[in-house]
Chain A
């Protein structure tokens, strides 16, 4: 019943970071066998949904130091500055590599790469492929990966457990979804690139698959997650669906208007309104500040009441049809399809929506985690370059830079390791038994997946939203413990093996509950306000106590415990974040 296969490096996750890492392994040492496990076909990965662009210094009037400063101040001084420096330096080369692989970047009339402005960035440095940048990057990476024979794919496999030998990670157990067969896939090094966990919240831009699986796998294996309290709300999501309207809409000149048609961001220390976009000002302020301004505007009664709650308006009408078609065609397509309105002539209703998690698996600059043999990159990881608030267009580049770094590091590590032993099979057999006993062969469970999931999501929105308080977080911590207990009594309608998507949903819920607990515990312990983490009971930033990364680990009873690690400061001492000046 149980299958075993062996590779040198195993990727879990086949999105932007995973595919970049896989190619890096193949190029670092062509003798290595690389495998990519993905619960979806790689080109379905959520990188596909990224719209606006990818940051990398290329303009003659730009500099690496300015990109560093924007990223560090944007992250409210929580990013590690050595990581940011490495990131910024390698960013243009990685984006150029993608150009060589065929990514259809937008161009200047003379054929050079075109860049656009983006939120929180003082210079124009965001490379873009219209407003489908993530889609084009992912398909370029996927199609390019097809030429590497060394890369084996396990499409539609769901990893349920990391295989461990004496504290060292040596592969994973995965379910082949088509057959339901459990397989042990051993490897000398494992890289986790499973992306974020936006689905722990009810209203998110994140695809259904963003359930924090890789974070949970790592957390259960004993490695800490870092800075999980920092959840990014993107200021412009469509109501009801949560579909993202890219920040590029504002970068191209869109206005944010309240119910009076007033550009309200001027009331929130973000600068004075000008007819055309001003960098690091107004609509091009950072996402955390814009989402917070929405809440304040709501409290003042100046938002618009819509069928799905309060909204403000994004106004693109003055950009004209030609510019919208050339630079923002997907925005128009999405508005026409899902809101039945044309942004060329009408206002777009928008509200803040959960978009990204700054936190993730604790890694060093090469993607290495504290567990031997385990690496991570992309949104699943936290190096950290994003700190308390990520700047738009840094994350796609992060997938490339740190995907490549993790790939190279894992390849070097794997090159000098002995192959894992067959004794790991026993662990895999145990895991297979667990899946059968807990889910597939179990009858009489009284709890429904969707019920628990909805309760978790509601808890997270109420307690860990744009503004949080100790009281609400305390309540959420208790509620999540309760949901963990109730999960023990889960019951499946589906007991078959072939393509049991309900089993996947149950395992995803288990991942999300663990990740949700880590978010709440980090948020509860951090008694200050910084970036995307705003505590109503501790409204100021406190560098004395909290210029530090939260590291959350799982205790024997499953509950989370938080400790702190210092932030690396190289050349930019902590200062006030200033926008609009």
Chain B
């Protein structure tokens, strides 16, 4: 018999349960297995009703974020052996409503993402037949890091501000807003600034930096938010010293 590890998972069925509970399963401890492999072992061999999201299992689709021993992790990129001898506890991402077992409701994030207008805004679009908007590698580097966000939402699960104030736009949406603000092809910065200042976006962040620490793609949302605050403050001062409309 191969070595085993106890995997404790959250169970919750909205049709049956009032509150979530924990169920423990013994799973083979294999050195090449990630936490997601353990969940699939349970689903395939033991209990087909265990529900969780996953897809690419190479750390890029962003589906399989869960709390592993209290920390937000991509379960396809977190090895089981790191938690030996166990038990290891798998729970749904913190700060989101739980829909079923390990699945959380993320529509709040999608709404916030749309709100920051994460697309190129231009006064005048040139026809594609006229070729590309030039952008040097240095200009690309200014926003590239923020464009690496896979929307896995580990940062929301780690964010103490989002935990307390669900109105907060949150780390990923703000990083993506900044991704477009910093893009040399974009002209929508002021439009986004207006939206964000209205929705008390960035001022909620106290720069605790948990989002940056848990980000599996090194996006540094905390850095993006700091950049954003700085620009917003400058704009705010400008509005006093410059005539209205002459931003």
Contact = CB atoms under 8 A, between A and B. Distances in A.
Interface in B86-118: 99-101, 103, 105-106, 110, 113-114, 117-118
A101 B60 contact: no
A493 interface: yes
Contacts of A474: none
B61 interface: yes
Contacts of A209: 55
B118 A104 contact: no
A96 B125 CA distance: 13
A502 interface: yes
A434 interface: no
Interface in B61-105: 61-63, 77, 99-101, 103, 105
A46 B56 contact: yes
Contacts of B118: 143, 146
Contacts of A295: none
Interface stretch (A110-118, A181-189, A276-284, A412-420): A110-118
B63 A112 contact: no
Nearest to A497: B15
Interface residues of B, number: 63
Interface string B39-75: 0000111011101111111111111000000000000
A499 B132 contact: no
A31 interface: no
A393 interface: no
Interface-central residue, B60, B99, B151, by most chain A CB under 10 Å: B60
B57 A208 contact: yes
B99 A112 contact: no
Given A207-B61, A499-B99, A143 B49 contact: no
A104 B133 contact: no
Contact of A143 (B119, B139, B140): B119
B136 A101 contact: no
B213 interface: no
Contact of A41 (B106, B129, B143): B106
A96 B56 contact: no
Contacts, number: 162
Contacts of A498: 13-15, 99-100
Interface in A96-121: 96-97, 99-102, 104-107, 109-113
A112 B140 CA distance: 12
B13 A111 contact: no
A44 B58 contact: no
Contact of B135 (A111, A207, A450): A111
A161 B43 CA distance: 26
A178 B110 CA distance: 16
B8 interface: no
B230 interface: no
A496 B13 contact: yes
A252 B103 CA distance: 40
Contact of B176 (A99, A101, A143): A143
A102 B132 CA distance: 10
B54 A208 contact: yes
A262 interface: no
Given A41-B106, A96-B128, A102-B120, A107 B56 contact: no
Main secondary structure on chain B at its contact with chain A?
Answer: loop
Contacts of A178: 99, 105
Given A41-B106, A104-B140, A499-B103, A99 B32 contact: no
A492 interface: yes
A135 interface: yes
Interface stretch (B160-168, B180-188, B192-200): B180-188
Interface in B168-213: 176, 180, 183, 185-186
A496 B61 contact: no
B136 A107 contact: yes
A501 B13 CA distance: 12
Nearest to A333: B59
A93 B180 CA distance: 22
B1 interface: no
Interface string B123-151: 00110110111111101100110011111
B136 A496 contact: no
Interface in A49-107: 49, 93, 96-97, 99-102, 104-107
Nearest to A111: B134
B16 interface: yes
Nearest to B103: A499
A147 B51 contact: no
A101 B147 contact: no
A413 B137 CA distance: 43
Nearest to A108: B137
Contacts of B44: 448-450
A344 interface: no
B53 to A, nearest CB: 8
Nearest to A98: B128
A462 interface: no
A113 B58 CA distance: 28
Given A48-B56, A144-B119, A502 B49 contact: yes
A537 to B, nearest CB: 36
A354 to B, nearest CB: 15
A49 B56 contact: yes
B77 A337 contact: yes
A45 to B, nearest CB: 8
A334 B74 CA distance: 14
Nearest to A339: B32
B171 to A, nearest CB: 16
B231 to A, nearest CB: 19
A569 B95 CA distance: 58
A100 B136 contact: no
Contacts of B53: 40
Contacts of B110: 41, 155
A554 interface: no
Contact of B47 (A243, A493, A497): A493
Contacts of B106: 41
A133 to B, nearest CB: 11
Given A143-B119, A492-B48, A96 B176 contact: no
B48 A493 contact: yes
A48 B99 contact: no
B31 to A, nearest CB: 10
Interface in A277-307: none
5 contacts: A44-B56, A96-B131, A109-B136, A208-B57, A334-B58
Given A43-B62, A147-B119, A493-B49, 4 more contacts: A40-B61, A100-B133, A146-B113, A178-B105
The 8 closest A-B pairs by CB, nearest first: A111-B134, A494-B49, A493-B48, A450-B44, A499-B100, A143-B118, A102-B120, A207-B55
